């Protein structure tokens, strides 16, 4: 409080984006998220396959886990392309 009154609250102004610009920004965020999930699933699958993690598991379990991560990576990549097909970028 300054001189017995409340100081004004400063509010950051948000820039107004057009719907097309907002859609492009949203599409970029979704693409980045799906690509990050696909990449990390692929890395996790490789880590299990080469024994960097999960070395105490039986060989059959390691193969199943690495296969599951590979399938997840492929599914995320397919979903990324499907998302681009369903919601094409406004040009």
Can you spell out the DSSP letters for the chain?
Answer: -BTTBPPPPP-PPPPP--HHHHHHHHHHHHHHHHHHHHHHHHHHHHHHHTTSS-TTS-HHHHHHHHHHHHHHHHHHHHHHHHHHHHSPPP-
Residue 50 near residue 66, CB atoms below 8 Å: no
pLDDT value, residue 17: 73
pLDDT at residue 89, rounded to an integer = 64
Confirm whether 1 is domain-assigned: no
Determine, yes or no, domain membership for 2: no
**Burial of 69 by CB count in 10 Å (0-12 exposed, 13-18 middle, 19+ buried)?**
buried
14 domain-assigned: no
Looking at residue 23, its pLDDT comes to 81
Residue range of the domain that includes 48: 19-86
Is 11 within a domain? no
For residue 39, tell me if it sits in a domain: yes
Residue 22 has a pLDDT of: 85
What's the number of domains the chain is made of?
A: 1
Q: Is residue 47 part of a domain?
A: yes
pLDDT 10s per residue in the chain (91 long)? 555 555 566 555 556 678 888 888 888 888 898 889 889 999 999 998 888 888 788 888 888 989 999 999 999 889 888 888 887 765 5
pLDDT for the residue 84: 81
């Amino acid at each position: 409080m300054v001189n017995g009154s409340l100081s004004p609250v400063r509010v950051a102004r948000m820039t107004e984006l057009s719907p097309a610009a907002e859609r492009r920004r949203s599409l970029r965020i979704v693409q980045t998220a799906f690509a990050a999930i696909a990449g990390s699933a692929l890395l996790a699958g490789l880590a299990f396959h080469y024994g960097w993690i999960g070395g105490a598991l039986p060989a059959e379990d390691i193969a199943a886990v690495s296969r599951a991560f590979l399938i997840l990576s492929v599914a995320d990549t397919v979903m990324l392309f499907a998302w681009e097909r369903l919601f094409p970028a406004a040009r």
